[in-house]
Amino acid sequence: MFENLTSRLTRVLDSIRGQGRLTEEQISAAARELRMALLEADVALPVIKDFIDKVKARALGVEITQSLTPGQAFLRIVQQELTTTLGGTAEPINLRAQPPAVILMAGLQGSGKTTTTGKLARKLKTEDKKNVIVVSADVYRPAAIEQLRIVAGQVGVEWFPSAVGESPVAIATAALAHARKQYADVLIVDTAGRTTVDQEMMAEIAQLHAAVNPVETLFVVDSMTGQDAAKTARAFADAVPLTGVVLTKIDGDSRGGAALSVRHVTGKPIKFLGVGEKSDKLEVFHPDRIANRIIGQGDMLSLIEETAKKVDAEKAAKLAQKLKSKKGFDLEDFREQMLQVQNMGSIESLIEKLPGGAQIQAQMKNVNAGKEMGKVVAIINSMTPQERKFPDLIKASRKRRIAAGSGVEVQEVNKLLRQFDTTRDMMKKVANGGMAKLMRGLAGRLPPGMMPRR
């Protein structure tokens, strides 16, 4: 996400970060580069003009001229203006209504409405402990109704049946009556989409809105459409009172222009980001965190939250206890750590949240980290329980057998054993002297700039 914009902005900001003082010419040159970076990211022109004007006004004012570190002051201004452009603060979904709270999903065909409906239902059920019902009012595509039924089953929420030929308004009102009888907390209505914005579509969504009086009307938009996303959002905002936006397919968009454009054009907050195909890949949109990510500062808060949610705390505690008891770190533990990381999602998405993530990704350009991790797990799975417990037993003949069993070359087995030895040494340092020794052990293995300065 934002890969191209981040790399371009990082180059611009790096060129002035260390300056003792900034001249008007330097600020103007940096502003021109910022404008080019935003144009390449397919940000809408009015958004670019407004953003650049605000950055220049602040940079040429008192803030920079009286600053002891002008380069850092300029970086802070860009970060603050990006945060403002993206909405300022995160706005949670509004469920403050007499149950069932109705959420209306709107958007073009192919934007990811049905998938997002399932993701949102799962999020409300698992994180907010809500009783959720979903219904499809898309009576033009039988596949859409069936897709929602399947998605609802996958995320474990109730699906209210509907059929082609029924009135969308009748479907929605019947689903609302059913939700009241079932004492549901939330009803999510997935509406029909079209390939383009048309009057018939807008009239239908307006009728649905009037019939169910939703507390949230979320516009679902494909982030890869760039400036077109903002135009479509404006058309929907003119037809129905939108309360928020969901940007989908963020993981496939390296430009990031839609995120910067939609908020400015509609005046409505971006509430969620669809960051992958799986049902748990829906993130709350935090403007300040995204701004940090765009300028290459990472998003450690989101990474910590994601880790807390997906890492098995019980298994982590058992490993910590094992290390304290001096029982040692074996290949079984190594495999478990790999599986825990895989459970958190793609390695690329995790690296992106680290400070300097764009540079690390550039260095790993030809490395498929997820595939490499899967290979490691396959190799360990080909070992006997005794070999996993006592890796020193693995000599030439055993290596050949393990390589054949996992479909790799013997060199790959050797590579894994070297990686394991390095990791085991680090674990010993943690057990013997805590994090200080671990950080010293890591210092020579991480890319430049990744270790904190003392």
Residue 135 to residue 113: CA distance in whole angstroms: 12
Q: Are 447 and 360 in contact (CB under 8 A)?
A: yes
CA distances to 31, 262, 266, 380 from 226, in Å: 22, 9, 14, 44
For residue 215, the model assigns a pLDDT of: 92
> Which run of H or E residues covers position 104?
strand 101-106
Give yes or no: residues 292 and 308 share one domain. no
Between residues 306 and 285, the one the model is more confident about: 285
Residue 45 lies in a domain: yes
Q: How far apart (Å, rounded) are the C-alpha atoms in residues 168 and 210?
A: 12
Percent of the chain scoring above 70 in pLDDT: 69
Question: Where a domain ends, among 55, 85, 115?
Answer: 85
Quote the DSSP letter at residue 452.
P
Four-point Cα dihedral 87, 93, 98, 102, nearest 10: 110
Highest mean pLDDT among 138-147, 251-260, 342-351, 425-434: 138-147
Query: Taking the C-alpha atoms of 48, 49, 50 and 55 in order, what is their torsion angle to the nearest 10 degrees?
Result: 90
Same domain, 330 and 273: no
For residue 376, the domain's CATH number is 1.10.260.30
158 located within any domain: yes
Amino acid identity, residue 253? D
**pLDDT of res. 51:** 86
Higher pLDDT, 360 or 275: 275
Q: How confident is the model at residue 436 (pLDDT cuts 50, 70, 90)?
A: very low
Q: Which residues contribute to the annotated binding site for GTP? A: 107-114, 190-194, 248-251
pLDDT score recorded for residue 121: 92
Evaluate whether residue 205 is within a structural domain: yes
Higher pLDDT, 225 or 243: 243
Strands 282-284 and 270-274 come out as: antiparallel
> Is residue 448 one of the residues assigned to a domain?
no
Which residue, 236, 262, 297, sits at the end of a domain?
Answer: 297
The verdict on residue 92 lying in a domain is: no
Is the pLDDT at 295 greater than 50? The verdict is yes
Cβ atoms 269, 108 nearer than 8 A: no
Q: Is residue 197 domain-shared with residue 255, that is, in the same domain? A: yes
pTM score: 0.64
Separation of first and last alpha carbons in the chain: 31
* Highest averaged pLDDT of the listed ranges 391-395, 399-403, 438-442: 399-403
pLDDT of residue 442: 45
Are residues 164 and 289 both part of a single domain? yes
Cis bond before residue 452 (omega within 30° of 0): no
* 226 and 330 together in one domain: no
Q: Same domain for 293 and 424?
A: no
**Domain-embedded: residue 431:** yes
Domain boundary among 297, 316, 340: 297
Q: Do residues 247 and 357 both lie within one domain?
A: no
Please tell me whether residues 319 and 405 are part of one structural domain: yes
At residue 193's C-alpha, the angle toward residues 192 and 199, to 5°, is 100
**pLDDT tops 90 at residue 188:** yes
Residues 370, 436 within the same domain: yes
* Count: domains in the chain: 3
CATH classification at residue 62:
1.20.120.140
State which residues form the domain around 200: 101-297
- The sheet carrying 132-136 orders its strands as 158-160, 132-136, 186-190, 101-106, 216-222, 244-248, 270-274, 282-284
In a domain, 180, yes or no: yes
CATH code where residue 134 lies: 3.40.50.300
Q: Same structural domain for residues 327 and 434?
A: yes
What is the predicted pLDDT for the residue at 451? 41
The amino acid at residue 167 is S
Q: Where are the beta strands (DSSP E) in 115-229?
A: 132-136, 158-160, 186-190, 216-222
Dihedral sign, CA of 247, 249, 250, 256?
Answer: negative
Answer yes or no: is 244 within a domain: yes
Model pLDDT, residue 195: 65
276/133 same-domain check:
yes
Q: Which residues contact 280 (CB under 8 A, 6 or more apart)?
A: 119, 122
Residue 216 backbone phi and psi in degrees, to 5: -135, 130
Question: Does residue 324 sit in the same domain as residue 419?
Answer: yes
Question: What gap in Å lies between CA 403 and CA 383, rounded to an integer?
Answer: 9
pLDDT tens digit sequence for 238-279: 778 888 888 887 765 445 567 777 777 778 888 888 887 888
pLDDT tens across 150-183, in order? Answer: 999 999 999 999 888 888 899 999 999 999 999 9
